[in-house]
Every structure is written in structure tokens, then in C-alpha cells.
Amino acid sequence: MAKIYLGLGSNVKPQKYLRQGISELGRRFGVLELSNVYRSKALGFEGADFLNLVVGMDSELTPQEMHQAIEEMHVQADRQRGESQFSPRTLDIDLLLYDNLVLDEAGVRVPRADILKYSFVLRPLAEIAPALRHPQTGKLITEHWADFDKNSHPLAVADLGSAAIQE
């Protein structure tokens, strides 16, 4: 069994599509570890705020099989691929980590570079996996979060039920 971490995000009916994604992941993989949900401004385009979280789980799927399962879930959520990587999304699921594997082949890259680039990935990952070491840097994820410029892309905790911002 591999320990896998996924990033989930949405800014199109996010409550609906994030719940759908979590439900489908639970159906396929069983027990899930869920971070808090975080609200953040869209990056790279003008659009509705995103809701994001990180999910941890165990799976026997290979990284390529996990990639295929993610693409199937994108289709179920009516995800439309645009010309730009920065666009509105019903559901965006990214494979962040697959055990300690470092891989770049056949459209599958782990660890995902977004972990160290975006607060909406790093903070929830640090929340549910504080003792996890980044497979390339060797540093704890919590150390990366402690060093991160939190003003670069502010986050607010949100409730998936109402998406109301909490202090």
C-alpha cells in the first residue's frame, strides 16, 4: 500500500464538486484523511474564490493508475479543460505525493511542484502530515510551511457546508 496525498480544489459550485470528489475518493479508496478547507483568491485569472483541501489515503494503485482514476473523477465532475492552466474549475484533483517516490513520466510528476509554490497546497498538507518529509528536499512539510511567505497568497479557513469564512 502506498501513502498518497491529493490536492482538491474548485471555484465552480465548490461545495457540490468538492463533496462529490471526497465522496468518490471514499467510495474508491476507503478511509480518507481530510484537511480543513481553505478559501483563497483565484491565481492567474479573475474569477471566483477557490476552495481547496488535501486528502491523504492509502492505495494499491500505481501512480499511473492513480492518474487515470483522477481523470475519471474529473470527467464525472464535468471538468472542462481550457487553453490556460489558470481557469475556473468544477473539480481539480492533483496527485501531490506518492510515498517518497520521485517520478516524472507519462504525465505523472511526483512530488508535485505546487506543494512548495502555493499556500493552498502546502498549508493543508502540513496540517494532515506534519511529520512528512518532502522526498526531494528532505525537509519536513511543516518546516516548509514555517518558511513560506504566507502573505503571498492569503488563506482563510472555510466550512465546506456553507463555505463561510471562519477566523
Q: Please report the domains of the chain, with CATH numbers, ordered by start residue.
A: 2-158 (3.30.70.560)
DSSP 157: E
Write the CA distances from 79 to 7, 13, 162, 163, integer angstroms.
15, 12, 22, 21
d(CA 61, CA 104): 17
| Percent residues over pLDDT 90 in the chain | 80
- Which pTM value belongs to this model? 0.92
* Residues 66-115 pLDDT 10s: 999 999 999 888 776 654 466 688 999 999 999 999 999 978 999 999 99
Q: Are 79 and 92 in contact (CB under 8 A)?
A: yes
CB 82 within 8 Å of CB 74: no
